[in-house]
Amino acid sequence: MTMTFDSNLLAGRPITPATINHGKCDPRPSRLLIFRNPGRVSRHYVDGIRRAAVQLGIHSLACELEPIWARGGNAREEITRGIIDVARRERIGAVIGYVYNGTVEFQFSVDENGRAHSLWDALGIPHLMLWTDHPQWASEKSAMHPDFSAILAAPNNHHFVKSESAAMEIRRVLGWANCYGLPVAEDTELVAPVRGIEPEFDVVAIVGSPPERDRRLERFLNDDDPSVDAIMSMVADDVRSRLTALWQQDAPRSLIPALTRFGEAWTAARAGDMDRASIRHLLELELDHRDAVKWLTAMPATYFAAIEHLWRLGSWQRTFVLRYLARFFRVGVFGSDWSSVGIGGGGWVEYAHQAAAYARGRIAINVSQAGEEEGVSHKPFQIAAASVPMVHIRRRGLDELFDIGTEIESFDTPRHARDQITALLNDPKRRTAMAAAARSRMERDHTWSNRLVAMFDRAGISVDAFRTPAQRLAVPAVAASF
C-alpha cells in the first residue's frame, strides 16, 4: 500500500533543509530507515528486508507509515520536521521502502531553479525503492504524473524492478537513470515447508485474480496439443487493432501512418519471439521506425497503454494452460475463485499460509502474468521456499535463478506443461529431490539478505558504513546475487 501523489502536494509551503553530513571522522555507524507500510502482501516484503538488515548486522530503524497517513495532509509540515530530527539524531544514511513510500508523506523542497525535490533528495540521503509491480501501475499510475516522475528521476533515488527489461523501459521512457533490474526474493523463515499435509491435488497454483476467459480460444482446449501458433495469430490480430485505435486516439494525424506501420512490425516481432520483452523489440525496430519510436517513447501514457495491449499476447496463457491441464489432472487454484471454469481450490491465501496451500498439491505450477515479459514474480521463490516441486512457464532469466531440470522444470506450451507434469508425477523420488534442491538454492541465493546487499551495491552504498567494526568481522559475507 502507498499514498497517492497529487499535484496539490507541491502547492504547500516548501521546506529547504540543509544536507545532512554526519562527519567522516565519526566512528559510529549510519542507520538504515525502513518505511513499513500496512498491507496484506507488500508489508511482508518490507519485513523481509528488516530481518535481512538484522542478519547482515546493518543498523536500522523502522518508520510506521499508517499513523502518518492517518494524520492527513494538514500535519505534513510537523511530520516533516520530526522526521528531519530523526534523520539527524539517528544518523540515517539511507532509506528504503515499498514503491515510493517515504516521498509523498513529507514536504517537498524547491531549489533555486524552481525544481521540486523529495525530502531525502534534499537531505542528500539515498532512497531505495522496491517496485514489485511496474512503476506505471502503482497507486493509480501516480508515478507517471509529470511533476512526480521528475522528482522520482533524481539521481539520489534508486529504483529496483523485477527484470532488466522492465528497468530498460523505465530508463528510456520515464528517464529514471537509476533504475535497475533485480529479482525479488523470499523470507525463508516466513515461507517454509509444512509437513503432514496429504496432497489432494496433482497440481496446485496460487493466483490472486479470477480467470480471464476468452471465448475465441474455447475450441483449442479440446485439442490434444493446442496450436500456440494459431492462438497467437488470433490474439495478434486483436493487438494490432487495439494499437491502431490507440494511435488514432493519441497521436498527431501526421504520425498515424508511421505509427501504424511500427505497430504492425512491433506486434509481429513480439508475437514471433516471446522470449524477448517488447522494449527489446522496439530498440531493434527503432532504426527503421525512428519517427514513430521517438514520438512514442516521449509520451509515457501512450507508450504504457501500448505495452498493455502487447501484454495481451501472453495474457491468454495463465487461464488457458490451467484449464487445459484440468482435463488431465486434478488441478487446484487458490487465491481466487476459479469455479466458473470448473476448477476448484479456495479463496485468498494469507501470506504465511502459502506453503500450506502449495503442500496440497504434488506439484506446484506458475504461469506468469502477461506483464512479466521477462524475469519472474515472487511465485517461484515462494514455491521453492515451500519445498514443493515446481513447473514454471519459461521466461528469459529463469535459468539464471534456478537450474532447469534439477531445481525446477519449465515448459513452453500447454502440451509441454502436461508432459512435464506427467513425468514428475510418475517419479516421486525426483519430485522430492527437486523440491529439496530448490529450497537449498533459495537459502543460498534468493533471500532478502542477498537482495539487500545487491541494492546497496547498485546504489553505491557501503554496507560496512552501517555496521560496527565488530559486526563487520562477525557477520559472514553474503553474495549480492544479481
331 belongs to a structural domain = yes
Amino acid 17: pLDDT: 56
Same-domain check for residues 132 and 246: no
Domain final residue pick, 309, 330, 362: 309
Question: In the prediction, which pLDDT does 407 show?
Answer: 98
Same domain? For 273 and 376 the reply is no
- pLDDT at residue 420, rounded to an integer: 98
Residues 371 and 262 in one domain: no
Write out the H or E segment, with its range, that includes residue 116: strand 116-117
The grid cell for 197 is: 499435509
Do 138 and 205 reside in the same domain of the chain? no
Q: Which residue has the cell 502482501?
A: 41
Q: Is 388 helix (H, G, I), strand (E, B) or coil?
A: coil
C-alpha cell at 454: 545487491
> What confidence score (pLDDT) does residue 112 get?
86
Contact 334, 205 (CB under 8 A): yes
Whether 120 has a pLDDT exceeding 90, the answer reads: yes
Measured distance CA(145)–CA(136) in Å, rounded: 10
In a domain, 453, yes or no: no
* Threshold 0.85, pTM exceeds: yes
Instruction: Give the domain range for residue 420.
Output: 201-214+317-445
**Residue 317 CB neighbour total at 10 angstroms:** 21
Find out whether 355 and 385 touch, Cβ atoms under 8 Å: yes
296 lies in the same domain as 417:
no
Strand arrangement, sheet containing 361-366? 344-346, 331-334, 201-206, 361-366, 390-393, 409-411
131: Cβ contacts below 8 Å, ≥ 6 apart: 99, 138, 159, 160, 161, 162
Q: Are residues 100 and 168 in the same domain?
A: yes
Shortest CA distance to 166 belongs to which of 408, 368, 347?
368
**CA-CA distance, 160 to 179, in Å (whole number)?**
6
Q: Beta-carbon neighbour count of residue 11 at 10 Å? A: 8
Residue 79 CA to residue 99 CA, distance in Å, equals 20
Check residue 114 and give its pLDDT: 86
Look at residue 188 and tell me if it is in a domain: no
Q: Please give the Cα distance from 122 to 479 (Å, whole number).
A: 32
Closest-CA residue to 389 (of 430, 417, 344): 430
Other beta carbons within 10 angstroms of residue 64's beta carbon come to: 11
The 10s digit of each residue's pLDDT in 279-320 is: 999 999 999 999 999 999 999 999 999 999 999 999 999 999
Are residues 291 and 399 located together in one domain of the fold? no
Q: What is the largest CA-CA distance in the chain?
A: 72
* CATH number for 166: 3.40.50.2000
Residues 23 and 139 in one domain: yes
Domain count across the chain: 3
Of the pLDDT bands very low, low, confident and very high (cuts 50, 70, 90), residue 138 is: confident
Judge whether residue 13 has pLDDT over 70: no
Q: Are 457 and 94 in contact (CB under 8 A)?
A: no
> CB neighbours of 41 closer than 8 A, spacing ≥ 6?
351
The answer on pLDDT for 207 being more than 70 is yes
My answer on whether 52 and 118 are in the same domain is yes
- The answer to whether 87 touches 30, Cβ cutoff 8 Å, is no
Residue 267 bridge partners (DSSP): none
Q: Do 290 and 353 belong to one domain? A: no
Whole-angstrom distance between the N-terminal and C-terminal Cα of the chain? 26
The span from the CA of 309 to the CA of 236, in Å, is: 10
pLDDT exceeding 90 applies to what percent of the chain?
A: 85
